[in-house]
Amino acid sequence: MLDRTDSPRPLPADAALRARAASVIPGGLWGHMNAARMPADFPQFFSGAEGCRIRDADGNEYVDFMCAYGPMALGYRDPEVEAAAAAALAKGEVGNGPSPVLVDLAELLVDTIPHADWAMFQKNGTDATTACVTIARAGTGRRKILVARGSYHGAVPWCTPSLAGVTAEDRAHLVEFDYNDVATLRAAAEAAGADFAGLIVSAFRHDARKKQEMPTPEFARAARAVCDAAGAALIIDDVRAGFRLHVGGSWEPYGVRPDLSAWSKAIANGWPLAAVTGNDRFREAATQIFVTGSFWCGAAAMAAALVSIRRYRETDAIPHMAAMGERLRAGIAAQAAAHGVALSQTGPAQMPMVLFDDDEDLAKGFCFVSAALQRGVYLHPWHNMFLSAAHRPEDIDFALEATDAALAEVARRFG
Ligand code: PMP
C-alpha cells in the first residue's frame, strides 16, 4: 500500500482540511466518501467538476470514473440540467406545498417506466428503499422481507452494513438468500411462508469487493414467481443502476417487472432526489403509510430530473455510456494481457468493476489506482465505477494511457 510519503504529488490543502475535519467531524467523515479507506494519496475534498472531470481541493484535475458514486450521468454541471434547476431555484426551492413540477415529474416517470402507475419522491436512495419495504408490508399486512446476503440497500437500521447501534429487532424480519441462486431464493420464500411481504433485490449483483454478476434470466423470473405465488411485492432496488442500464428499469430486458422500484443517484444528474414507483396493486398501501421530509418537495431537483430523464429517453446517453465502458474494458483487457497481469472486469460496461486476481488485501488494486491517479485518472480499487454520457472517446484513451502505465507498475511490483 502506498503511503503519502511515497506520493510524488502531495496534497497540502486536502491534508489541512482533513486535519481540521478530524477534530470536528467524527472519524473525519462518515460513510463511503471517507478517503481513509482509499490509498493514502487519494484526495478527500473536491472543489469543482465539469463534464467528466473533477478537481480536488489542491487544484489537481482528474478524468473521473466514479461520477459522484453514480449521481452524475450526463456530465457534471450539464448546462441544460443546471439551467432547469436554476430556473426552479429562482422561483423558490421550498414552500408550503410542492411546485407544479412534482406532477410533471410523476407523469413523466409513469410514462417512462412500464411497471409504474404512480410515483412518490424523496431525497436519498435509502428513503426510497425503506418506503418500498414499508409499502410492501402495509399492502400485504405481513412482515418478512427477502434480501440477498451482502447486498446494499441503504444506511438505516433495517439495512445498514454496520451492526453498530442496530438491534436484533431491527433485522428480525429479514430472510436472506444468495443473489442468482434460485434454490436459496425458494428456500427463503418458504421460510417466510404466510408472513412473506416482499423481496428486495438490486438490479444486478454489485456488492463491494466482489465480482459483479448480472442477474440470470432464471433468477429474475424466479424472483417474480416466488412473489406471485405468495402475493408478495417484488421490489427492485434500482438506486445505483437506474437510468444507466435501461430507462424503463434495469430488469426490462429480462421481461420481469417489479411491483415497486426504488430510484435515486442518476435520476436528476446530481441534484438530490429519489423516487418510488409502483403499480396499482400497491397504490392504496402507498396512500396509507406516512412518509415525508422537510426537503422532499424541493423544486430544483425535480426540474433537473425532468430534463435528465427526457435526455435518457430521447438521446443515446445510455448506449453511449455502455460504448465508452466497452472501450475502457477492451483497452484494459489488452493491456493486462500484454503486462501479464491477471484481473477480472465484471458487471455492465457502464458500471465496471476491476479486481486483481490473488489480491485479498487489495495491494495490487491500490497500486493500480494510485498510479492512475498520479496520471490524472480517478479509478476505484473495490467499488464499481461509473461511466457517463460526458465521457468522450478521447477521455477513455487518455485514461487508457494511465492504466497502461499503472498496469506496468503492478507487473513490476507484484511480478
Ligand atoms: N441502494 C443501492 C443499490 C445503493 O447503491 C445505494 C447507495 N449507494 C442505496 C440504496 C442508498 O442510497 P443513498 O445513499 O442515497 O441513501
Give the tens place of pLDDT for each residue, 132-185.
999 999 999 999 999 999 999 999 999 999 999 999 999 999 999 999 999 999
pTM to 2 decimal places: 0.97
What are 267-309's pLDDT values in tens digits? 999 999 999 999 999 999 999 999 999 999 999 999 999 999 9
**Per-residue model confidence (pLDDT) at position 415:** 86
* Separation of alpha carbons 114 and 319, rounded Å: 19
Is residue 275 a contact partner of residue 281, using CB atoms and an 8 Å limit? no
Our answer on whether the CB atom of 264 is closer than 6 Å to any ligand 1 atom is yes
| For residue 2, pLDDT beyond 90 | no
Q: Is 130 in the pocket of ligand 1 (CB under 6 A)?
A: no
Q: And the C-alpha cell for 269?
A: 444528474
Residue 3 pLDDT > 80, yes or no? no
21 has a pLDDT exceeding 80: yes
The predicted structure's pLDDT at residue 175: 98
Mean pLDDT calculated for residue range 18-43 = 96
Taking all residues of the chain, what is their mean pLDDT, rounded to a whole number?
97
* CA torsion angle 114 119 125 128 (round to 10): -110
In testing the pocket of ligand 1, which one of 264, 276, 382, 386 has its CB within 8 Å of the most ligand atoms? Answer: 264
Question: Above 80 in pLDDT, residue 4?
Answer: no
- Looking at the chain, the whole-number percentage of residues with pLDDT higher than 90 is 97
| Distance from residue 263's CA to the centre of ligand 1 (Å) | 9
The CA distance from 392 to 398, in Å, is 10
Grid cell for residue 117: 402507475
**Which residues share a beta bridge with 276?**
120, 262
Per residue in 266-277, pLDDT tens?
Answer: 999 999 999 999
Interval between CA 383 and ligand 1 midpoint (Å) = 13
pLDDT-derived band of residue 7, with 50, 70 and 90 as boundaries?
Answer: low
Judge whether 321 and 350 are in contact, CB under 8 Å: yes
Q: β-strands 53-56, 46-50: how paired?
A: antiparallel
Q: In this prediction, what percent of the chain has a pLDDT beyond 70? A: 98
Q: Binning pLDDT at 50, 70 and 90, where does residue 9 land?
A: confident
pLDDT, tens only, 326-377: 999 999 999 999 999 999 999 999 999 999 999 999 999 999 999 999 999 9
Tell me, in angstroms, the distance from the centre of ligand 1 to residue 341's CA.
32
Tell the burial category of 305 from Cβ atoms under 10 Å away from its Cβ (0-12, 13-18, 19+). buried
Read off φ and ψ for residue 300, nearest 5 degrees: -65, -45
pLDDT at 395 over 80: yes
Q: Is the domain 12-76+317-414 a CATH 3.30.9.10 member?
A: no
Residue 330 · residue 104 · CB < 8 Å: no
Distance (Å) from CA 125 to ligand 1 centroid: 5
Q: Are strands 174-177 and 196-202 parallel, antiparallel or unpaired?
A: unpaired
Q: For residue 8, what pLDDT is reported? A: 61
Nearest alpha carbon to residue 21 among 36, 7, 6:
36
Q: What is the pLDDT of residues 181-213, one digit of tens each?
A: 999 999 999 999 999 999 999 999 999 999 999
The tally of CA atoms less than 13 A away on the side-chain side of residue 160 is 14
What are the residue ranges spanned by the domains of the chain? 12-76+317-414, 79-314
Distance 336 CA to ligand 1 centre (A): 31
Residue 152 in contact with ligand 1 by CB distance below 6 A: yes
| pLDDT: which is higher, 365 or 7 | 365
What is the dotted CATH code of the domain comprising 79-314? 3.40.640.10
Whether the CB of 126 sits within 6 Å of ligand 1: yes
Whether residue 49 has pLDDT greater than 90 = yes
pLDDT at residue 97, rounded to an integer = 96
| Residue 4 or 61, more confident | 61
**C-beta of 263 in contact with ligand 1 (< 6 A):** no
Ligand 1: centre distance to CA 198 (Å): 19
